[in-house]
Amino acid sequence: MAASDTAQVTSVEHLLASKELVVICGSGGVGKTTTAAAAGAMAAAHLGGKVLVLTVDPARRLATALGLEAFGNKETQVPRDLFTEAGVTPRGELWAAMLDTKQSWDDLVRRHAPDPETRDAILANPLYNNITGKFVQSHDYIAMERLHDLHASGRYDLVIVDTPPTRNAIDFLEAPERMADFFSSRLLRWLTVPARSRILSTASKPFYTVADRILGSQFLADIAEFFILFQTMYDGFVQRAEAVQRTLESECTTFVVVSTLEPAPAHEAEFFLKALAERDLNLGGLVLNKVLPDYLLDPQTGALAERLADQSASVAEALVAADGDVGEAKAVARVLGEVADSYANFRVVATREAEQKARLSNRPEVVATVPYLDSDVADLAGLLDLGTRLWS
């Protein structure tokens, strides 16, 4: 896209203009999916080119905002009309797809299975569905895998990838490496031993006899078959995992960390920023989301709120008309007192947020602050509105 890599990147707009892959990460519920969609909508509207947002489990309202009734792995174009209805003539195209883990695993198996028989046997294996659904880092790996795939396809100028709500945001950075490790692991070899050779070693025989009794021999046979079949895909998988890793490390890829300023997510964001630096991965920017407004920090309004709390009774008297009764004045005084207290509480939180922000902001060059919005994003106009705050 437009700007060159050497130009200084000072905003999310510049960042998206200079990269081809953007990975949006952060802890659960901070606004990753919303940020990914808003960034994609802005890029399609103002930068041009073909932009794809790969989302994970978007809220129904968000999917509807993108004009997508049901979107799965298949990439779908967001109707141009939605942009014009929102008062914007888009320079490019916005596409969206969802990360369907199960379907993506099936595609991987189809790609890597050595022959049609093995492919069908894996897909039909009773453990396969279960395991791909619950595989450690299965979602993480698939997210990275699809990112690599879509980028390599060359169909898009910019791919923005939302990441799954991981317990630990570091997990998916390591997913490709772990996948490669898993396929070459001793554990996998060990698991496949009993079925490869029915002659069990004396040492492991008691284990399998007990396991057989508890789990049933069919279960063990299914496990063994599954792993043996899976191992036939070893080379393909390891090569892929390495290619995915290279894509993550490449110059055209950047990571954007999203966080709120609450202590736990902010702490995790800090940890994540450090982890990216340690891995020499490109940190593009930090998005601080759902931030309280700056005016709460203004000492003058703070002093006003304190005065209101102290003098709520006299202010109430002045407000209630001369013929208003005493009860009414008291009620108004209570409301004013509560409002002033509540303002003071918000001020305390905003002050803590500002401290947190100062701590986090000293690392990345691009820091965008998005305020806490009163209403959920319901349409493309809402998404572009949020995106505008992200942009500058």
DSSP 317-347: HHHS-TTS-HHHHHHHHHHHHHHHHHHHHHH
Among 289, 312, 356, 369, interactor with ligand ATP by CB under 6 A: 289
If one asks whether residue 31 binds ligand ATP (CB under 6 A), the answer comes out as yes
If one asks whether residue 28 binds ligand ATP (CB under 6 A), the answer comes out as yes
Among 14, 46, 148, 290, interactor with ligand ATP by CB under 6 A: 290
Query: Closer CB to Mg ion, residue 159 or residue 333?
Result: 159
Min. distance of Cβ 210 from ligand ATP in angstroms? Answer: 41
Among 13, 18, 30, 33, interactor with Mg ion by CB under 5 A: 33
Query: Closer CB to ligand ATP, residue 55 or residue 254?
Result: 55
Please name which of 229, 71, 75 lies closest in space to residue 159, comparing C-alpha atoms: 75
If one asks whether residue 293 binds ligand ATP (CB under 6 A), the answer comes out as no
If one asks whether residue 104 binds Mg ion (CB under 5 A), the answer comes out as no
DSSP 122-144: HHH-HHHHHHHHHSTTHHHHHHH
Burial 288-325 (b: 16+ CB within 10 A, else e): bbbbbeeebeeeeebeebeebbebbeebbbeebeeeee
Q: Is 379 exposed, middle or buried (0-12, 13-18, 19+ CB in 10 A)?
A: middle
Among 59, 127, 188, 220, interactor with ligand ATP by CB under 6 A: 59
Q: Which does 324 bind (CB under 5 to 8 A by kind): Mg ion, ligand ATP, none?
A: none
DSSP 42-68: HIIIII-EEEEEEESS--HHHHHHTT-
If one asks whether residue 137 binds Mg ion (CB under 5 A), the answer comes out as no
Q: Give the count of beta carbons closer than 10 Å to the beta carbon of residue 7.
A: 11
* Positions in 372-391 near ligand ATP (CB under 6 A): 372-373, 376-377
- Alpha-carbon distance 151 to 16, whole Å? 15
Min. distance of Cβ 333 from ligand ATP in angstroms? Answer: 33
Selected range binding ligand ATP among 29-37, 45-53, 244-252, 305-313, rule: CB under 6 A: 29-37
Residues that bind ligand ATP (CB under 6 A): 28-34, 59, 165, 289-290, 370, 372-373, 376-377
